[in-house]
Amino acid sequence: MSTATMTAPRVKAGADEGRIGLRANLRHIGALVRRNALQIKQDPESMMDVLLMPIIFILLFTYVFGGAIAGKGHQHDYIQRLVPGMMAMLGMNIAMAVGSGVNEDFRKGVMDRFRTMPIARSSVLIAKIVVEIGRMLIATAILLGMGFLLGLEIKGSMLAFFAAVVLSTVFGAALMWIFILLGLSVKTPQAVQGMAMLVLMPLQFGSSIFAPTTSMPGWLEGFTKVNPLSNLADASRALINDQGAVAHPALVTLGWAVAITAVTMPLAVAKFRKKT
């Protein structure tokens, strides 16, 4: 077993999860975050999606679809639409990797070792979330850096800009609980990825991320209005471009994030306890 795996927290034998206090719980989460970070250090290829996906996606969509949507020679205008929308998309794609990682850890027996320790079961999953949020922020920074190189402008205040980043991060963290639950419910990482794509594709392309929704059929336009990715993209776009209503899509996005977390986090922790 790797050195990173052996850094799991140890507490006094005989303690149980019900008696673990907040300070001990935070200490366990910190140790598990360090373990996950060391695992990434030992396998740097696992960061390739975070480093390359934002670059490939922004170049692809800007120069393949930008001219068709905004008009030839007007890709700069499309950048102002695309980048805030892609901030929403990144969170969902990275969240998918969390489910695959949890499933793989169970297959390797790592999670079984953690479950034999007197630590809060939620701390193992929360540590996963913390590390993946870090990966998400790195991907977002790369996306924004490429956006600035291609002409992205922050037309609102810096506070509004950072609010867009925070909103995308909060929603992405909520989505991770869905994919953790999925990773705990299916047998293989390939099954996680296959089922995740069935969810990702309709939500991403049936939204306002890449194109205006006004040209869509009525039934699809109606779906985009309730699609949480559309609301997140619209809120981020309004914050960065300083145009359009912000309050409604931002509140809808936060409402989705709270509801998703409230439902899937307890289910994921319960599934983690019972999984064999």
Q: What is the mean pLDDT of each run of 10 residues along the chain (276 residues)?
A: 43 47 80 85 80 90 80 77 89 84 81 75 87 92 94 92 95 93 88 86 88 85 90 94 90 95 93 79
Report the distance separating Cα 115 and Cα 252, nearest Å. Answer: 36
pLDDT at 9: 43
CB 33 within 8 A of CB 133: no
pLDDT at 74: 67
Quote the tokens at residue 48.
């390739």
CB 34 within 8 A of CB 7: yes
CA distances from 47 to 71, 116, 132, 141, 142 (A): 35, 30, 11, 14, 12
Quote the tokens at residue 62.
């800007």
pLDDT at 147: 93
pLDDT at 10: 45
Single pTM value for the model: 0.84
CA distances from 274 to 112, 185, 264 (A): 11, 11, 15
CB 123 within 8 A of CB 32: yes
Category of 9 on φ-ψ map: left (φ > 0), alpha (ψ -120 to 50) or beta: beta
pLDDT at 73: 67
pLDDT at 214: 82
pLDDT at 113: 77
